[in-house]
Amino acid sequence: MKHQKPQTNFKSLLYRSGFILALLLPNFAAADLSAGLAAYQRQDYAAALQEWQPLAEQGDAKVQFYLGVMYYKGQGVPQDFQVALKWYRLAAEQGIAEAQANLGVMYVKGQGVAQDDQAAAKWYRLAAEQGDAIAQLDLGLMYTNGQGVAQDFQAALKWYRLAAEQGYAAAQYNLGVMYTNGQGVVQDFQAAAKWYRLAAEQGYAEAQYNLGLMYAEGQGVPQDNQAAAKWLRLAAEQGHSRAQSNLGVMYANGRGVPKNDREAAKWFGLAAEQGYTTAQSALGVMYINGLGVPQDFQAALKWLRLAAEQGNSRAQTNLGFMYAEGRGVAQDNQAALKWYLLAAEQGNSRAQFNLGLMYANGEGVPQDNQAALKWYRLAAEQGFAEAQFNLGNMYFAGKGVPQDIQAAVKWFRLAAEQGDVRAKLTLMLNKLDQDTR
């Protein structure tokens, strides 16, 4: 379960249209604007343009901003970013914060103008200094990413905070991320949870997800699986794939919710269909074992392959197992070896152990005790009990390594301490444990 980085917003242009016009109306002579505003609100854009064009050409800054919106979105006119840019610039140069912010967006995206992050930062700053919350967020993002400005987490924190204190959910979320990661501020999980909660209560899915993780892990809040499940569900119901996958884990394990394999498979499936590899891998395992779904090796193979091809090491390991056992596919040790190797090189201990077995037994590869020893050791050093036992056996028998009883006992003990019955019996029957203490 991992917290997310600050999110890019860049939806200023869409936000600053429609009914926002009504909110801005008190800044104008109502008699001059009312006809155009009424037309715009009933989506009669041609009439709105007819009313507003003369005012814009006379230098009315707010109307220039509105025309920028219409040309940007193609409302009553052909969509034309260059003309939109012209009107935004005229309004921005007269100090209209919304136009300054939207001009920043167009420079970031290279719409109607050459892409230019430094120019974007300039316009965002002018709007942000007037208190525009969206511009404050976007300027914070530029400082976070070192985009158009030198990377500066403290400056980012400043702008996020200003927007967050205005109640802007995306900024509250990003401020939470900064506290989580200790960027520009001392790491503080309680402060992070505070800001995530404020955003989460406004329905911000990323914040709901991160707050769910904090309850699951007891970071900044008391550990509470029920609260974790609540927040993960709220994010999951908005289509948040990582929340869906984690909610599936909670149902699979009965954490914060009653154990329910069918519900687990449902949430894994929703996340898997969005391409989330962790969920694809988990869903594949559900199909292998018939948990919450009918046992179906073909379906398992499909989901494991999708995740494995994206580099998910658990899926690669399980796909290797499918080939090794011939489940849902013709038995193929070479294919099993390929998938185990990909996972083992990422540090997956089970894949490392399985590779050790294949080399020890000459399955898909020439028999090679030294290669087996190498892979067993890598898995054993990660605490994989079966690998510890097999490594102990290799030292005990002198396979791939000079015989070394003390090394054998070391690995047998480690496996035995994890409950490996074979290791316990080996130590007891050979009186190794007491002889080497």
Q: Position 431: which residue type?
A: K
How far is Cα of residue 222 from the mean position of the Cα atoms in its chain?
24
Q: What is the rounded end-to-end Cα distance, in angstroms, of the chain?
A: 41
Domain tally for the chain? 1
How many C-beta atoms surround the C-beta of residue 109 within 10 A? 14
Q: Are 138 and 124 contacting, i.e. CB atoms less than 8 angstroms apart?
A: yes
Q: Taking a C-beta distance cutoff of 8 angstroms, is the pair 399, 359 a contact?
A: no
Judge whether 96 lies within some domain. Answer: yes
| pLDDT in single tens digits along all 437 residues of the chain | 444 555 544 333 323 333 233 333 334 444 457 788 889 999 999 999 999 999 999 999 999 999 999 999 999 999 999 999 999 999 999 999 999 999 999 999 999 999 999 999 999 999 999 999 999 999 999 999 999 999 999 999 999 999 999 999 999 999 999 999 999 999 999 999 999 999 999 999 999 999 999 999 999 999 999 999 999 999 999 999 999 999 999 999 999 999 999 999 999 999 999 999 999 999 999 999 999 999 999 999 999 999 999 999 999 999 999 999 999 999 999 999 999 999 999 999 999 999 999 999 999 999 999 999 999 999 999 999 999 999 999 999 999 999 999 999 999 999 999 999 999 998 888 877 655 44
- Confidence at residue 434, expressed as pLDDT on a 0 to 100 scale: 59
Q: DSSP E strands: which ranges in 17-162?
A: none
**Coil, strand or helix: which one is 83?**
helix
From residue 433, alpha-carbon distances to 133, 280, 416, 426 in Å are 68, 44, 11, 9
Domain annotation covers residue 112: yes
Instruction: Indicate whether 177 belongs to any domain.
Output: no
Q: Which two tokens stand for residue 144?
A: 């976070």
Query: Domain for residue 213, yes or no?
Result: no
Report the 10 Å Cβ neighbour count for 42: 10
Q: Which whole-number Å values give the CA distances from 335 to 69, 204, 234, 367, in the listed order?
A: 56, 44, 41, 17
pLDDT of residue 32: 59
User: Are residues 388 and 354 in contact, defined by beta-carbon separation less than 8 angstroms?
Assistant: no
Q: DSSP code of 220?
A: S
- Residue 107 domain boundaries: 1-151
Tell me what pLDDT residue 5 has: 55
In a domain, 13, yes or no: yes
pLDDT value at residue 37: 86
Please, what's the b/e burial string for 276-291 (b: 16 or more CB within 10 A of its CB; e: otherwise)? bbbbbbbbbbbbbeeb
Q: Is residue 127 part of a domain?
A: yes
Q: Is 36 contained in some domain?
A: yes
Residue 128, domain CATH: 1.25.40.10
Report pLDDT for 9: 42
pTM for the full predicted model: 0.86
